[in-house]
Amino acid sequence: MAGVILEEKSFKKLGKCIELSNGTVDLLTTIETGPRIIRYGFTGCQNEFCDNSELALSVENDEWHLIGGHRLWHSPEAFPRTYVPDNDPVHWEKIENGIRVTNKVQNWVQIKKEMEITLSPAGSKVRILHRLINKNAWQVELAIWSLTVMAPGGKEIIPQPQNKSHFSDGFKGARVIALWSYSKMNDPRVYWGDKYITLQQDKNISANIKFGISNEDGWGAYINNNHLFVKKYSHDRNAKYPDGGVSYETFASDSILEMETLTPIILLEPDKEATHIEEWKLVDTANIQADNEKQIDEIVDKYIKSF
């Protein structure tokens, strides 16, 4: 009978981690740094996440390390506030079918981060509850921002909003796209389709690209080595989102691809909390293709609509 097993293990240079496994998939969450989920994958198979990025930035008298995996930030992005290093140990405790990890309150940002990570007793489904707690003596305007750094070589699928609009009906544009200044609309890694956008991670293209969309369907997917990773979240069509109104952002370089979801912007009162839920699943497929919208429709119908 399937069930969730919790064990302490060491992982590469990151030291002690807590593993959650159920015989189908396993996750590793760092406890000597973080909070960060550094591995998710089928048991005995490759890590779906990047776990060896060497990117590092000097922040004050410390260094922030990308490393990889899944991390919790708060938007809007600003340096050095956003990049406060997560190099200190986290507190962790067992919860039903998972763990809760909490960081030390960031020195001058004064935002406390928590992740509640639960694994289904059977299958591949994971639920992440992200929590920010304002420990300042004043309000802070922010959005929760959860980022997953995927292993290289895959293709990302992002659904386009399908709500109709026309100049004569008085509606605003149905598709909001934010494009970072270093991104090129004619980047060969991107396919701007009618129903979907795809982004290919390519080790041979060194230029960075980042864009965001108003992802009303509330999911993103990544195909790599015939595995399909899906992350799902909630999009509020009536809310105000960061970066011009986008709830989903993605970034790619020659070594990684990031899948990023955001909550609406709020004013978080002192000692109050905000939460954001992502759900994940992993599908082992055979020769999965996403080279055109018909093929993507088949993937969505078979694996994503029922999630």
CA-nearest of 228, 307, 215 to 262 is: 215
How many domains, the chain?
1
Tens of pLDDT, residues 203-247? 999 999 999 999 999 999 999 999 999 999 999 999 999 999 999
pLDDT value, residue 162: 87
Tens of pLDDT, residues 254-266? 999 999 999 999 9
Average pLDDT of the residues in 134-150: 98
Quote the tokens at residue 16: 């002690």
Q: Domain residues for 256?
A: 5-304
* End-to-end C-alpha distance for the chain, whole angstroms: 23
Quote the tokens at residue 179: 């494009």
On the question of pLDDT at 167 being above 70, the answer is no
Tens of pLDDT, residues 68-127? 999 999 999 999 889 999 999 999 999 999 999 999 998 889 999 999 999 999 999 999
pLDDT value, residue 253: 98
pLDDT tier for residue 170 given thresholds of 50, 70 and 90: low
pLDDT tier for residue 169 given thresholds of 50, 70 and 90: low
Other CB atoms within a 10 A radius of the CB of residue 197 amount to 22
> CA-to-CA distance for 221 and 133, rounded, in angstroms?
29
> CA-to-CA distance for 148 and 162, rounded, in angstroms?
25
pLDDT value, residue 172: 65
Tens of pLDDT, residues 34-63? 999 999 999 999 999 999 999 999 998 899
- Are 152 and 203 in contact by the 8 Å Cβ rule? The answer is yes
Quote the tokens at residue 98: 């998972």
Average pLDDT of the residues in 133-147: 97
pLDDT value, residue 165: 62
On the question of pLDDT at 154 being above 90, the answer is yes
Handedness of CA 258, 47, 57, 117 (dihedral sign): positive
Quote the tokens at residue 137: 């003596």
Average pLDDT of the residues in 121-147: 98
**Domain CATH code at residue 126:** 2.70.98.10
